[in-house]
């Protein structure tokens, strides 16, 4: 039977663990972690992306910071937020994984929103790595340019989905394309594949997104390095 001192320790121990759970109990804070997995962001950027007021976004970020899930750096008048360490991204992916396996409501929600993705033949990471090394595919990063600059799949070309129609002339019809974005629930890559196929290109999407690729230890680059398509 536990002593009073050990019981007190256990209560305090699990109280510390519960701080993480409480910080992750908000849909907005989970979405913030997904966005920060793409690269650091300001409060203004996160608020605009998620559709929150600055005050509300700041409050959510303070909860994440108090749970030691995010860090900050100041650049003049702006405060930039980032994930505290790679383990936070792993935790976020673990939540995704358990929810995908256990929550039927999640499966129905995704199916209702995206429809049947089977026809799109998503490309797993190991296949894309092989294609990239052999030059058998052009990899398109369809996220905003700032996220590409913060980190992208090595060899990928930045073509934000909103710019794709305008830049179709840069994408020869005789090449095969693989588009990727923020993750499996991001629509950018799906939209890019739809546009490319509608314009006579062979295109598929990466099954996962950039954070999963980075977490797997696969090659990445940073900076704006717009390459030529050969």
Residues with catalytic roles: 181
DSSP reduced 3-state for 38: coil
Between CA 24 and CA 19 the distance in angstroms is 9
Residue 208 corresponds to which tokens in the numbers above? Answer: 């996962």
Chain-centroid distance of CA 175 in Å reads 26
DSSP reduced 3-state for 8: helix
Residue 163 DSSP symbol: G
Chain-centroid distance of CA 195 in Å reads 21
Closest CA relative to residue 207, chosen from 148, 123, 93: 123
Task: Kindly provide the b/e burial profile for residues 45-79, where b requires at least 16 CB atoms within 10 angstroms of the residue's own CB.
Answer: bbbeebebeeeebbebbebbeebebbbeeeeeeee
Neighbours of 82 (CB within 10 A): 16
């Amino acid at each position: 039977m536990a002593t009073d001192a050990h019981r007190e320790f256990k209560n305090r121990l699990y109280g510390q663990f519960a701080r993480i759970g409480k910080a992750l109990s908000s849909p907005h804070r989970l979405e913030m972690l997904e966005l920060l997995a793409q690269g650091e962001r300001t409060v203004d950027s996160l608020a605009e992306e998620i559709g929150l007021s600055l005050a509300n976004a700041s409050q959510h970020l303070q909860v994440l910071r108090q749970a030691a899930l995010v860090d900050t750096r100041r650049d003049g008048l702006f405060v930039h937020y980032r994930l505290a360490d790679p383990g936070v991204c792993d935790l976020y992916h673990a939540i995704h994984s358990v929810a995908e396996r256990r929550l039927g409501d999640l499966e129905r929600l995704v199916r209702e929103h995206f429809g049947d993705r089977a026809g799109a033949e998503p490309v797993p990471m190991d296949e894309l790595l092989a294609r990239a090394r052999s030059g058998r595919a052009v990899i398109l990063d369809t996220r905003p340019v700032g996220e590409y600059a913060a980190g992208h799949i090595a060899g990928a070309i930045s073509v934000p989905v909103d710019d794709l129609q305008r830049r179709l002339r840069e994408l020869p019809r005789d090449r095969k394309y693989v588009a990727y974005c923020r993750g499996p629930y991001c629509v950018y890559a799906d939209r890019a594949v739809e546009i490319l196929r509608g314009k006579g290109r062979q295109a598929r999407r990466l099954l996962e997104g950039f954070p999963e690729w980075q977490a797997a230890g696969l090659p990445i680059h940073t900076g704006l390095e717009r390459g030529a398509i050969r």
